[in-house]
Structure 1
């Protein structure tokens, strides 16, 4: 693979990872409630989920999933249910010190599950695998570079979004402001489900 192709590959994955969606909204909400350090397991889980999806797409697994209407529907329903539950939990949250359903940050496996249950993630990584496959001589090389690019891009993107949440937390002074922002983030996360059903 020519090394001058790495620039476009990493640019593509970074733009894909940084664009607003379920994972970025979740990272912002986690930064708002828990800060960056306590959100690291979730960020690592999402990044690992993205990297493993990219590797699976390179190996042809994504095309099998998307070609099976039953499996595709199961992923959509499970992913929708999980995201709606998270949206409700976020919308009902108050100030970070309050006890509630989201008493702990989302775990590594919760973050990974978010990606694995998202057909949009499958479609995005499969599209990337198809687009960049001509640049690589073997499927293993494609899987390695694509998973590395998506994993690093997810870490960069989610760290930025989580830091944005931390910045917003410093601006909020009243319970009403906290509640309004949490409701907004919950609605935004729920709205991120719409593209899942368009695939």
Structure 2
């Protein structure tokens, strides 16, 4: 257990820190509530778990070594996040009982994580730093995938609940417009580190 503690701390900090996924989970919680946001949360967690597992198996090294693939991932991911930010900014006050509006899907959550080269770099760092915790790449993939996936569920659950709490506090239409624009701006700002040189 002493050997696993640094891994748990690393992953907890990585998944709890603000970014695109946490911002989207907060916005989804505010507009759709926790229950309707579960697909998004599970999609992001599954994407992160599979990314960590792939990093342990060495696939991340290939992705990071191919600049053309990285550029394509960045461009596609940026367009997707800009579209999500536009949706968040244009939404009004939530109606949590409404069934017309749809939260981001499971596959949308997976896509949100898998396009991000910085996420690959983070999970690759974890795979290299904690490789000694397992005796085979498959066991390391299972360990990292499990820890990253479960930690993502817990942290996104917290962020989503914070968004749901905001839904109860804000009453006026202007307050919702201000929150939606703020969340959209944070989502756009979360893309900036992706475009900065490593």
Alignment of 1:125-164 (within 5 A): 125-164=123-162
Secondary structure of the 2:3 match is helix
Paired position in structure 2 for 1:64: 62
Query: How many residues end up aligned between the 2 structures?
Result: 194
Paired position in structure 2 for 1:175: 173
Secondary structure of the 1:70 match is helix
TM, length-normalised to structure 1: 0.95
Q: After superposition, give the CA deviation of every residue in 1:113-140 in whole Å (9 maximum; x if it has no partner).
A: 0011111111110111011012321111
Secondary structure of the 1:178 match is helix
Paired position in structure 2 for 1:50: 48
Alignment of 1:11-22 (within 5 A): 11-22=9-20
For residues 11 and 37 of structure 1, what CA distance do their matches in structure 2 show? 28
Moved over 3 A (4+): none
1:77 pairs with one of 71, 75, 94: 75
For residues 27 and 47 of structure 2, what CA distance do their matches in structure 1 show? 19
1:124 pairs with one of 122, 125, 143: 122
The runs of 5 or more residues in structure 2 that have no matched partner are none
Q: After superposition, give the CA deviation of every residue in 1:36-73 in whole Å (9 maximum; x if it has no partner).
A: 00000000000000000000000110110010011010
Structure 1 residue 7: deviation in Å? 1.7
Paired position in structure 1 for 2:84: 86
The runs of 5 or more residues in structure 1 that have no matched partner are none
Q: After superposition, give the CA deviation of every residue in 1:129-174 in whole Å (9 maximum; x if it has no partner).
A: 0110123211111111100000000000000000000111111010
Instruction: Please give the root-mean-square deviation of Cα atoms over the aligned residues, in Å.
Output: 1.2
Q: After superposition, give the CA deviation of every residue in 1:3-52 in whole Å (9 maximum; x if it has no partner).
A: 32122211211110000000000000000000000000000000000000
